[in-house]
Amino acid sequence: MHNIVIRSGSLRMGGLERVLIDTLNIIDREKYTVTLIIEDDCEEENIFAEDIPKDVELYFIKPKAMIDKTHSYRVKRKKCILSKILYNYNMHLEHKFTLKRTLEILDKIKDKHGEIDLFIDYDWGATRYIHKLEVKNKVVWIHNSIKNLMKKESKIRRFGRRLKKYDYIVNICDEMKVETENLYPFLKGKVKRVYNPLDYKKIEKLSLDESELTDKDKELIKEEYILAVSRLDTVQKDYETLLKALKVALENGFSKKLYILGDGPDRDEIEKIAAEFNLKDRVVFLGRKKNPYIWMKNCSFFVHSSKYEGFGLVLAEAMGLGKAVVSSNCSVGPKEILEFGKSGALFGVGNFKELEEILLKLENNKKLIDELAENAKVRSEEFSFENIGERLDELFNYVLGEKK
């Protein structure tokens, strides 16, 4: 029995957190003991805590009071030099505390289960101190395009130096793997690709579950609508292009409403854009929903407008429910998931005119919708629990030196 420790940042509502839970569920318990370390204890915001498998022991590193204190200075740091100084000081204290607490937790795990065979840094949050952890094998998961996230050459170079301290690096799509190896040629041979796993049986079951719906929701879900699901931010997500395309499409005969499911720091800004485009009556902001799948199941088709992605989890989720999907052709992930247009329609990043044309084309072409939906359903099997479970087991065998 091998001893695996997985470390990640939080259990808040988010795509990475959902994938983390699915990953925990597909690891073979006959071969591996699994312990989970979460950096931020967000208390009432630990949405996914209840979904952690019962046989996975959970440890938190930082208490909420510490997180909130640092965040309060972070918010004020651009306007107040004292807050900036206090923010930097508190971050320094947090980093010291995180390492100390992590080492204490690892010692507890060793006392209970023996030496740690594999430490998985699931959101790359341990890159600062990974070299200080005494474990047999260290693997880091990369969930996004390094170039898109880091942007500055100095940060990209520094990140590469930190990645060298891991035994293996896992990317979640082939395009990302190629990008990582091009950025860091010295990592070639250490970079592996494992798609995100999706529990389609659970997704299908939840897509029929009406327990979360309010009376208002039950009325809304009966209408004809297209759906977008994401964190509401304007750095990565491109809602301006989506809303502009919808505005023009409506002027040219498009009839469906747009429902936007999710919440985030830029919700007010996105709602303002919708108002400026006179779309208040055509766009519905559903807010945060733990179960997005019933809304996916009942939409006419799914639309995703993003400036960049890591994988595009919501695309694969909608595909598994047999939905036609429209996505921006951004790096990295969507084009690979959609098989370069075979299993979904792609439009250029920021190209509202191209998106508007796709909306109108799908509005009037049920045959095309059905064809895309059928291809999407077939393609989604690549990301199933069963398939990714096998790939994950192969990876662990390889890392632990058991590949024959």
Extract the tokens encoding 152.
Answer: 């500055």
Determine the 3-state secondary structure of 323 from DSSP.
coil
Task: Give the span between the Cα atoms of 247 and 65, in whole angstroms.
Answer: 44
Q: Among candidates 403, 397, 292, which has minimal Cα distance to 32?
A: 397
Res 160 pLDDT > 60: yes
Amino acid 226: pLDDT:
98
Q: pLDDT tens for residues 124-159?
A: 999 999 999 999 999 999 998 898 888 899 999 999
Residue-wise pLDDT tens digits, 259-303? 999 998 899 999 999 999 999 999 999 998 989 999 999 999 999
Closest CA to 62 of 22, 34, 104: 104
Long-range contacts of 98-103 (CB under 8 A, 24+ apart): 98/39, 98/61, 98/62, 98/129, 99/129, 99/132, 101/61, 101/62, 102/7, 102/37, 102/61, 102/126, 102/129, 102/133, 103/132, 103/133
Tell me the C-alpha to C-alpha distance, in Å, between residue 46 and each of 41, 42, 95, 354, 370.
Answer: 7, 6, 21, 39, 38
pLDDT > 90? residue 15 = no
C-alpha torsion 261→265→266→272, nearest 10 = 80
CATH of span 2-197+385-399? 3.40.50.2000
DSSP 94-111: HHHHHHHHHHHHHHHHHH
pLDDT exceeding 70 applies to what percent of the chain? 99
* CATH number of 200-382, picked from 3.40.50.2000, 3.30.1370.100, 3.40.30.10, 3.40.309.10: 3.40.50.2000
| Across 352-356, average pLDDT | 98
Token digits of residue 211: 């327990």
Locate all alpha helices (DSSP H) within 27-80, ordered by sequence. Answer: 64-76
CATH 3.40.50.2000 spans which residues of the chain?
2-197+385-399, 200-382
Q: Both tokens of residue 218?
A: 């039950």
Q: What is the mean pLDDT of residues 86-98?
A: 93
pLDDT the model gives residue 404: 38
> What is the rounded CA–CA span in Å between residue 272 and residue 93?
39
pLDDT (0 to 100) of residue 148:
85
For the record, the structure tokens of 240 come out as: 């301006």
Quick: pLDDT tens for 216-261.
Answer: 999 999 999 999 999 899 999 999 999 999 999 999 999 999 999 9
Q: What average pLDDT does the structure give for the chain? A: 94
Helix ranges (DSSP H) in 292-347: 293-298, 313-320, 334-337
Residue 402's pLDDT band (boundaries 50, 70, 90)?
A: low
Provide the H-helix boundaries in 151-300: 153-163, 174-183, 200-206, 215-220, 239-251, 267-276, 293-298
Three-state SS at 198: strand
pLDDT over 70 at 403, yes or no: no
The model's pTM is 0.86
Quote the distance between the C-alpha of residue 14 and its chain's center: 6
Element (H, E) at 92: helix 81-113
